C-alpha cells in the first residue's frame, strides 16, 4: 500500500515537470507564462517560441504520461496503468513546480493512452490532425479528439479505458472552456502553418 502511494506521488511529480517553462527559460530566456495565452502547454510554446520548441515540449509532455503509466510495471505493482496515469495528467494541469499553473491535459493524456492503447492513440492523433487541418483550431481539435477517444473506448468496451478516458476527456474539455467561448465569439486564433492558405487570426 505504501509503495502504491509512492508511485502515485511519482506520477504526479512527473506530470508536474513544466516542460514549456524549462525549455523557454533555458534556451530562449522567456517565461512562456508571460506570453501568448500564458499556458505552459505545447500550443502556447509553438505560438511563443516556434515549431522546434513546440515539438520538443509536446513530445516531452506526451512522454510524461507514458512514463507515469508504466510505473506499475516498472515497480511490479498490481495497479492499473490508466489509474496511475491520471495523476500525471493532474500534475501537468496543476504542477507543484510551477505554482499549480500548468497545461490543458492534451499531450500528457495522449501519453497515458500511448502506453495502454497505442492503436487508440494513433487513431485519435489522426483525428486530431484531420480536425486541425479542416478547422485550424488547436483547441477545437483537442476537444473533438477527446470525444473520439470516448467513442473508441466504448467500441472496444474496456471498462477501465471507458472510465479513465471519460475523466481525461472531461479534463481536456473543461480546461478548454475559455477557448470554446472564443471560438463561438470568433476571437480564437487559428494556426497559420497548416494547409495551403495562410490564415490570419479572426
Q: At what angle do helices 51-74 and 2-16 cross, to 10 degrees?
A: 180
pTM over 0.85: yes
Structure confidence at residue 48 (pLDDT): 87
Exposure of 134 in the CB half-sphere (CA atoms within 13 A): 10
Decide if pLDDT at 28 tops 50.
Answer: yes
Decide if pLDDT at 194 tops 80.
Answer: no
**Rounded distance, CA 12 to CA 85, Å?**
9
Tell how far CA 174 is from the center of its chain.
Answer: 13
Question: Which residue pairs from 73-76 have beta carbons closer than 8 angstroms and sit at least 24 positions apart in sequence?
Answer: 75/3, 75/7
Amino acid at each position: 500500500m505504501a509503495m502504491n502511494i509512492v508511485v502515485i506521488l511519482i506520477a504526479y511529480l512527473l506530470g508536474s515537470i513544466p516542460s514549456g517553462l524549462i525549455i523557454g527559460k533555458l534556451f530562449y530566456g522567456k517565461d512562456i507564462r508571460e506570453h501568448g495565452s500564458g499556458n505552459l502547454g505545447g500550443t502556447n510554446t509553438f505560438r511563443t517560441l516556434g515549431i522546434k520548441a513546440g515539438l520538443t515540449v509536446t513530445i516531452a509532455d506526451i512522454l510524461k504520461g507514458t512514463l507515469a503509466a508504466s510505473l506499475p510495471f516498472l515497480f511490479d505493482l498490481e495497479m492499473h496503468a490508466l489509474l496511475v496515469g491520471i495523476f500525471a495528467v493532474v500534475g501537468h494541469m496543476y504542477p507543484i513546480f510551477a505554482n499549480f499553473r500548468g497545461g490543458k491535459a492534451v499531450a500528457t493524456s495522449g501519453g497515458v493512452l500511448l502506453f495502454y492503447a497505442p492503436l487508440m492513440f494513433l487513431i485519435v492523433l489522426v483525428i486530431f490532425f484531420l480536425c486541425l487541418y479542416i478547422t485550424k483550431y488547436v483547441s477545437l481539435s483537442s476537444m473533438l479528439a477527446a470525444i473520439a477517444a470516448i467513442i473508441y473506448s466504448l467500441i472496444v468496451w474496456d471498462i477501465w479505458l471507458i472510465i479513465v478516458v471519460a475523466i481525461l476527456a472531461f479534463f481536456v474539455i473543461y480546461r478548454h472552456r475559455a477557448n470554446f467561448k472564443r471560438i463561438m465569439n470568433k476571437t480564437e486564433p487559428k494556426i497559420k502553418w497548416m494547409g495551403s492558405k495562410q490564415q490570419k487570426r479572426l
